[in-house]
Amino acid sequence: MSLSGEKEIRLNIPFLDLKRQHAALKAEIIEAISRVIDDTAFSGGPFVEEFEREFAAYCGASYVAAVGNGTDALHLAMRALGIGQGDEVIVPANTFVATAWGASHAGATPVFVDCHPETWTIDPARIEERVTARTKAIAGVHLYGQPFDVAAVKEIAARHSLFLIEDCAQAVGAKYRGKRVGGLGDAGCFSFYPGKNLGACGEAGGVTTNSAGLDARIRSLRSHGSLVKYYHDEVGYNMRMDGIHGAVLSLKLKYIDAWNGRRLDIARRYREELASSGLRMQKTPEWAGHVYHLFVVVADDRERLRKHLESKGVFPGIHYPVPCHLQKAYSHLGYRKGDFPNAEALSEGCLSLPVFPEMTDEEVEYVIKMVNTF
């Protein structure tokens, strides 16, 4: 019983419940997978090609090369752009570390920059001080589903003759000034990891581009450096997408706008009904069409809020507890705590509230109530 005498209902709300989406689509998914099995089109092949065409049209990009996962997408995009040993790629310090892996796997060095204190995406005002004679590209991240300031970053890239790579892993369907992300720079790198807004039944990714040459190079590199079977133009990789993922992604693409719409509805309620909670939220400029892969708040005492929510059956996430420049994997680069105060403050205070399309209104209300009773 609560103090007011009402009986308290306790719900259990996971950070993400993928089972609900798959239960609703189970018959369609099984049918799609069985078509792949009947065709034995397991690696690349017609189902992947169909998804490539559909996804390119969806993103408004000329080409999509489907690959094994989002990390492969970043790695292959950078390799195909000719980025390698001795080169530098500018990367926001507050991203999932795979943005930086792209540069490292290509043989280059990620050079971190701080995020904007309010939008939490790469801060254009901090980029130029990190540009050197070795810089080859800027990899901006549409963080949590919110586009970064593409025009501002593009202008800097143009001034220094740098490539612009969009990390779209969290942002399928997000819009920058009315245009979907992916076709706005030289290459757009997507992840279709199962928990993403558009998720495969396994690992998958893709690279969007408007350059026929870049697309061909990625297609070659992903498949043993070969565009003609058994003729190898360069040392390549096996980073193809499986047929099953192509078929599942094609069918899920039909639902993505409805799913993103529901995420937006939930996020609007969180924003409105948590406005006086004292928590800080991501500032969304009027030109940004956010798709809320994550709904992140920043708390003064994150651990206390997390424990409170968990004690009430609400299970938030943390994206991400350690910024890239302070990761052990990059300790050899010599960064120190204090180098990027905005990214560090975010890592210390951030908490991701549950947001997924299948959440019920009752669950959304419960999360709001539990945050507001903190």
Q: 87-126 mask for ligand PLP (x: CB under 6 A)?
A: --------xx-xx---------------------------
The residue (of 78 and 364) whose beta carbon lies closer to ligand PLP is 78
3 state DSSP class of 208: strand
- Ramachandran angles phi, psi of 22, nearest 5°: -75, -30
Measure the CA–CA gap between 100 and 108, rounded to whole angstroms.
Answer: 10
Radius of gyration of the chain (CA): 21
Measure the CA–CA gap between 97 and 349, rounded to whole angstroms.
Answer: 18
**Smallest distance from the beta carbon of 275 to ligand PLP, in angstroms?**
27
Is residue 246 part of the contact set for ligand PLP (CB under 6 A)? no
Stretch that binds ligand PLP, among 69-77, 233-241, 272-280, 350-358 (CB under 6 A): 69-77
**Smallest distance from the beta carbon of 11 to ligand PLP, in angstroms?**
28
Contact with ligand PLP (CB under 6 A) among 141, 181, 291, 346: 141
Residue numbers 205-224 binding ligand PLP by CB under 6 A: 205
Stretch that binds ligand PLP, among 14-22, 29-37, 66-74, 75-83 (CB under 6 A): 66-74
In the bound state, the residue with its beta carbon closest to ligand PLP is 70
Q: How many residues bind ligand PLP (CB under 6 A)?
A: 14
Contact with ligand PLP (CB under 6 A) among 44, 45, 70, 188: 70
Tokens 């990899």 locate to 139
The residue (of 94 and 274) whose beta carbon lies closer to ligand PLP is 94
The residue (of 239 and 314) whose beta carbon lies closer to ligand PLP is 239
Beta strands in the chain (DSSP E): 63-67, 88-92, 109-113, 135-141, 163-167, 175-176, 179-180, 187-191, 205-209, 280-281, 288-289, 295-298, 350-353
Please enumerate in sequence order all residues whose Cβ is within 8 A of that of 139, keeping only pairs 6 or more positions apart, or say none.
Answer: 74, 89, 90, 91, 99, 102, 103, 165, 166, 167
Residues in the chain: 374
The residues binding ligand PLP (CB under 6 A) are 69-71, 95-96, 98-99, 141, 167, 169-170, 191, 193, 205
